[in-house]
Chain A
Amino acid sequence: MSTVFIPSVLRPNVGGVKSIDVDGDSIRSVVNGLIERHPTLGAQLLTDEGDLNRFVNVYVNGQDVRYLDGLDTPVAKGDEVRLLPAMAGG
């Protein structure tokens, strides 16, 4: 069980909560678990081919999974997973 932190721009897709505990031993299974529960997240997080969208960064314990193993990055119990889209506001 890891905790996924949801940025406020994505919270409307998950009923407004700030974080969700999700089972899964990899980013792939955590993301799929999230999308199963909140299907509208699917288009935000994954491409049609099932890869991570390049405009949403995913961090495990502060490290960008793009520089780890992407969707195959392992996730351990208690890990913090953070979804982070870019912001434009100034």
Chain B
Amino acid sequence: MPKSYADLLREARDQIREVTAQQVEALPAGAATIVDVREASEWEQGHIPGAHHVSKSYIEQQIEAAAPDRDAPVILYCAGGIRSLFAAQTLADMGYADVASMSGGFQAWKGAGFDFDTPVVLSAEQKQRYSRHLLIPEVGSAGQKRLLESKALLIGAGGLGSPAALYLAAAGVGTIGLVDFDVVDVSNLQRQIVHTTDRVGQRKVESARISINALNPDVTVVEHEEMLTADNVTRLIDGYDVILDGTDTFETRYVLNDAAVAAGIPVVHASVFRFEGQLTTFIPYEGPCYRCLYPTPPPPELAPGCSVAGVLGVVPGILGLLQTNEALKVLLGIGNTLAGRLLLFDALETEFTELQLRRDPECPVCSDAAVEARKAGRPLDAATVGADAPFLMTTTGLAGGVSPEARA
């Protein structure tokens, strides 16, 4: 027996409970998952605050991400209250026990004078470019807009910085700062894929900018062609949302750590040696800092850089991408970072090992006492840092004999 639209609508009304816009508005926050089933172009014109967007054409595929608990109440709405009725039938078929449709839809909501959010609108070109991000509920247009407004700073445009620069750019991180004073050497090209053979001899920050903008002209590249030191670190990191530490020297890593903790900026840390790498995320005061992990640097013979010890090219590639993953999560505010965990990678065994890290209550940089001292403007001295530390502290960073080995 063929059924008309009117038959189908009647059946849906018999099966699905309807609620009014007033009832939905009166619900306490979090009492139900509210899902907008309209098309993306309608959602962009405005939607109920806190609603999830799952267009009716994707409802079977995407509802479980928006509403994982089939026993929890779900309220669907569309423009006028029809499409949401049919979509609600689908959810009922999928085993959702408490599904309702909002009668009158978004028109009734707006007509009642209730608040609504107008989401960020990306350009048509941006919607195409970032479409695979927009499809992920955890990113979406709000997350993509957040990335476009974010600023990430790369310390070092080398082995770790190369994949990070390219993938941050591809992801649409709007501003990428590059700190590097070096020029491209042919021996860099075995792993530093942001540079090219025809740019050997060129400044690394400039070479990296060319690759970044070739990949994504949305990105503004800020070139800091200087060595990061205690004197300029506060200025260099100012205004950035996240920092990726990909330097080749301990001096720079400690200088950066101390200033980033003082400025409250998360640092995603990675380092490599031959077939091995270490990775963690330092979120000031939420987890340990670099000095909590390594109170003092090792003697040079125990920690040679890549130019001395060598490195399998893919190792900084892998670690640099894991750094980028951490940075994107920090910027988007999603997932769990490696704060408080150190990830070790062994390329020869293809093995990851995780170690637990703790904040050092005696840390000269991030402990409560250190914060108080900084607030009071009292410089910390060598005795505070520890007798075996070769660095002297200033209020924000380190001062004294900074003589990084040549980066290559």
Which positions in A face B, CB cutoff 8 Å? Answer: 7-10, 44, 53-57, 59, 62-64, 66-67, 82, 84-90
B356 engages A85 (CB within 8 Å)? no
B271 engages A54 (CB within 8 Å)? no
With a CB–CB cut-off of 8 A, which chain A residues contact B299? 55
B273 engages A87 (CB within 8 Å)? yes
A90 engages B161 (CB within 8 Å)? yes
B303 engages A82 (CB within 8 Å)? no
Closest to A43 in B: B299
CB < 8 Å neighbour of B294 from A7, A44, A55, A90:
A55
Binds A, one of B67-75, B128-136, B243-251: B243-251
CB < 8 Å neighbour of B274 from A8, A59, A67:
A8
B296 engages A89 (CB within 8 Å)? no
Query: What are the 5 closest A-B residue pairs judged by CB atoms, nearest first?
Result: A55-B298, A87-B271, A86-B294, A90-B246, A89-B306
With a CB–CB cut-off of 8 A, which chain A residues contact B96? none
Query: In the bound complex, what is the Cα–Cα distance between A89 and B271 (angstroms)?
Result: 5
With a CB–CB cut-off of 8 A, which chain A residues contact B305? 88-90
8 contacts between A and B (CB under 8 A): A8-B275, A55-B302, A57-B293, A85-B298, A87-B273, A88-B250, A89-B248, A89-B316
Closest to B250 in A: A88
User: Using an 8 Å CB-CB cutoff, how does the interface string of B297-316 with A read, 1 for contact, 0 for none?
Assistant: 11100111110010100001
Closest to B349 in A: A18
CB of B145, distance to nearest CB on chain A (Å): 31
A86 engages B309 (CB within 8 Å)? no
CB proximity to A under 8 Å, residues B258-314: 270-278, 293-299, 302-306, 309, 311
With a CB–CB cut-off of 8 A, which chain A residues contact B156? 90
A87 engages B278 (CB within 8 Å)? yes
Consensus secondary structure, chain A interface = mixed
CB < 8 Å neighbour of B309 from A56, A64, A89, A90:
A89
User: How many B residues face the partner with a CB closer than 8 A?
Assistant: 48
B61 contacts partner chain A, Cβ-Cβ < 8 Å: no
CB < 8 Å neighbour of B298 from A63, A64, A66, A86:
A86
B336 contacts partner chain A, Cβ-Cβ < 8 Å: no
B276 engages A87 (CB within 8 Å)? yes
With a CB–CB cut-off of 8 A, which chain B residues contact A9? 273, 302-304, 309
Query: In the bound complex, what is the Cα–Cα distance between A24 and B44 (angstroms)?
Result: 66
Known: A9-B303, A55-B296, A55-B302. A87 touches B355 (CB 8 A): no
A63 engages B356 (CB within 8 Å)? yes
Closest to B290 in A: A86
User: Using an 8 Å CB-CB cutoff, how does the interface string of B157-168 with A read, 1 for contact, 0 for none?
Assistant: 011110000000
CB of B5, distance to nearest CB on chain A (Å): 62
CB of B136, distance to nearest CB on chain A (Å): 30
Query: In the bound complex, what is the Cα–Cα distance between A59 and B358 (angstroms)?
Result: 12
With a CB–CB cut-off of 8 A, which chain A residues contact B272? 87, 89-90
A59 engages B271 (CB within 8 Å)? no
B253 engages A88 (CB within 8 Å)? yes
With a CB–CB cut-off of 8 A, which chain B residues contact A56? 298, 302
Known: A8-B275, A90-B161. A85 touches B303 (CB 8 A): yes
With a CB–CB cut-off of 8 A, which chain A residues contact B360? 66
CB proximity to A under 8 Å, residues B150-189: 156, 158-161
B353 contacts partner chain A, Cβ-Cβ < 8 Å: yes
With a CB–CB cut-off of 8 A, which chain A residues contact B273? 8-9, 87, 89
B381 contacts partner chain A, Cβ-Cβ < 8 Å: no
Closest to A63 in B: B356
User: Using an 8 Å CB-CB cutoff, how does the interface string of B341-358 with A read, 1 for contact, 0 for none?
Assistant: 010100000000111111
